[in-house]
């Protein structure tokens, strides 16, 4: 399928979902919270899914301080409101992401250890490789913390069953590419570096499998070359094609190696790899038409919160930064992270969209959420039951 064909399918899908039910593209008060479809959620990864662990780490770990979280009562998110982990959790019937592991009190930790809630081990700035993320919880450390958690959990004979039916969400890789650039590595080093990232990622997934994970949602690396921060040094303010090419190569190899590993050594693992890359680039490419179809995303290149060129010279919690008032119109909240409005549209796509957005199955298929044609809507419109 060509790029133009995929973009056309993508646009039709997003348009139909958004026109059929505004609740699919926003989190209004009319949204009904359904009974959760999995026992718990366990989250690992970087700032796209960190819900507050970094706020309990000393510098130099980055912290999501005000005005991060301005549109909610939630803290520790590197966006203006809900992040990807929150929105995935809401689609699974929870009100928000499970709590940050480092935020747990003795009382709330008891809920975790007695299998009443899951936990988020994600840490903003971390990566797949142990060398990525100064002062953060590395992916290896995050999995070690989950291992220690499981060793102390008491659910009777239900423990392994509860873990196997729970949802494991991972977002990682973008910061490893930032580290690649900071180390001054050349394009010739990229293939070996990407191969190391993927092989290490598969090792992490296998470690979770050994600990009982059987339902895995993976977020691939987004279009890192199109963030406002990546656009700043570009002469025309366009995307950094070299960075995007590395992300695409990583995403392709990741799919190949995960499929191979699941087939050979993780036979009971069900997984879905969500293409945040495809979703973001499709939304960018079609943003003018998307506005006409009420998607609400109008500002693509410029960050809502920050300062300097494209409002993306520094992170938005730094002194003398400003933030926009029309945040639902912006794709990016700061120099790196999308807005809640962008995340909302992305989660609809990875749950209910075609393989262009999640493969080999989408997130709804992964957890057994049915979809059906709602006859009160336009023909062909998918709506979550």
Q: How far is CA 101 from CA 44, 87, 105, 215, in A?
A: 11, 18, 9, 20
C-alpha 169 chain-centroid distance: 8
Among 21, 24, 47, 275, which one carries the catalytic annotation? 47
3-state helix vs strand vs coil in the chain, percent to 5: 45, 10, 45
Dist. CA 147–CA 153, nearest whole Å: 10
Give the residue carrying structure tokens 């190569």: 249
Whether residue 171 lies in the annotated active site:
no
* Phi-psi category of residue 380: left, alpha or beta, with phi > 0 → left and psi -120 to 50 → alpha: left
Report CA-CA distances (Å) from 60 to 122, 135, 311, 314.
16, 6, 23, 16
How far apart are the C-alpha atoms of 148 and 126, rounded to whole Å?
20
Give the whole-angstrom CA distance, residue 32 versus residue 45: 28
Output DSSP code: residue 98.
P
Residue written as token pair 């060398």: 131
Q: Are 204 and 173 in contact (CB under 8 A)?
A: no
Cα dihedral angle (384, 254, 86, 147), rounded to 10 degrees?
A: 120
Question: Helix 190-210 crosses helix 241-265 at what angle (to 10 degrees)?
Answer: 40
Report, as residue numbers or ranges, the catalytic residues: 47
């Amino acid at each position: 399928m060509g790029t133009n064909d995929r973009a056309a399918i993508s646009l039709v899908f997003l348009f139909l979902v958004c026109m059929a039910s505004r609740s699919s593209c926003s989190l209004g008060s009319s949204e009904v919270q359904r009974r959760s479809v999995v026992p718990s959620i366990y989250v690992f990864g970087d700032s796209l899914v960190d819900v507050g662990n970094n706020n309990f780490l000393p510098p130099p770990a980055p912290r999501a301080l005000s005005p991060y979280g301005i549109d909610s009562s939630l803290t520790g998110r590197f966006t203006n409101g809900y992040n990807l982990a929150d929105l995935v959790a809401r689609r699974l019937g929870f009100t928000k992401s499970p709590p940050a592991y480092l935020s747990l009190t003795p009382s709330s930790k008891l809920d975790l250890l007695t299998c009443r809630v899951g936990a988020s081990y994600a840490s903003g700035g971390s990566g797949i490789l142990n060398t990525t993320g100064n002062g953060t919880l590395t992916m290896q450390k995050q999995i070690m913390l989950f291992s220690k958690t499981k060793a102390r959990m008491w659910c009777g004979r239900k423990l392994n069953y509860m873990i196997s039916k729970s949802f494991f969400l991972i977002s990682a890789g973008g910061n490893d590419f930032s580290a690649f650039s900071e180390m001054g590595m050349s394009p010739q080093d990229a293939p070996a570096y990407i191969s190391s990232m993927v092989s290490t990622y598969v090792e992490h997934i296998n470690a979770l499998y050994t600990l009982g994970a059987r339902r895995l949602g993976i977020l691939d690396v987004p279009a890192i070359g199109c963030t406002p921060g990546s656009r700043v040094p570009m002469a025309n303010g366009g995307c950094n094609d070299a960075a995007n090419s590395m992300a695409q190569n990583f995403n392709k190899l990741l799919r190949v190696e995960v499929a191979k590993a699941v087939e050979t050594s993780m036979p009971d693992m069900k997984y879905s790899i969500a293409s945040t890359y495809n979703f973001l680039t499709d939304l960018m490419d079609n943003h003018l038409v998307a506005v006409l179809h009420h998607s609400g995303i109008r500002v693509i290149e410029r960050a809502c919160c920050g300062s300097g060129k494209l409002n993306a010279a520094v992170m938005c919690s730094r002194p003398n930064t400003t933030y926009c008032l029309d945040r639902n119109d912006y794709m990016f909240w700061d120099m790196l992270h999308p807005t809640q409005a962008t995340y909302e549209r992305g989660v609809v796509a990875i749950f209910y969209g075609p393989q262009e957005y999640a493969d080999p199955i989408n997130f709804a298929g992964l957890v057994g959420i049915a979809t059906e044609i709602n006859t009160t809507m336009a023909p062909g419109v998918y709506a979550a039951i």
